[in-house]
Amino acid sequence: MDSYLKNKSVLIIVAISPKYKFDVEGDGSDQHGLHTKYIHTQIQNEFIQQRCLNFRLIPVMFPNANQTHVPMWLQSTRLFRWPQDAQDLLLRLLREERYIPPPLGKELTLIIKPL
């Protein structure tokens, strides 16, 4: 698990739900063995070390979740809503842009004629 967290080329999906909020802000016990609180702390530390720039976290908000279930430190980043943003989410996972900028044209030539 730590190797995935330390590998900066790996994207991390954060599944936002009421259960996730309870797991990361709850009493500290991890009864289901998913190490949710540990992973949450690690990605939060990385986010802070990156000066709050998000390069690899992909927060996905499920239908039973709302904005209050998103951790405060993740509220400034792009949230994907499932299933409404499925196409945008897929593009993000594939690291592709939705809109491809057009190629630059020829360089313009400026001619100045004195009057």
55 occurs within a structural domain: yes
104 occurs within a structural domain: no
What pLDDT band is residue 23 in, cutting at 50, 70 and 90? confident
Domain count, the chain: 1
Model confidence pLDDT, tens digit, residues 28-66: 666 666 788 888 888 999 888 888 888 889 999 999 999
Q: What is the pLDDT of residue 87?
A: 94
39 occurs within a structural domain: yes
- What are the C-alpha distances in Å from 34 to residues 64, 94, 106, 115? 20, 26, 55, 78
Specify the 3-state DSSP secondary structure of 57: strand
pLDDT-above-70 percentage for the chain = 94
Structural domain span for residue 28: 1-94
17 occurs within a structural domain: yes
Mean pLDDT (the chain) is 87
110 occurs within a structural domain: no
Has this prediction a pTM greater than 0.85?
Answer: no
66 occurs within a structural domain: yes
CB neighbours of 5 closer than 8 A, spacing ≥ 6?
Answer: 12, 39, 42, 43, 46
pLDDT at residue 83 tops 90:
yes
99 occurs within a structural domain: no
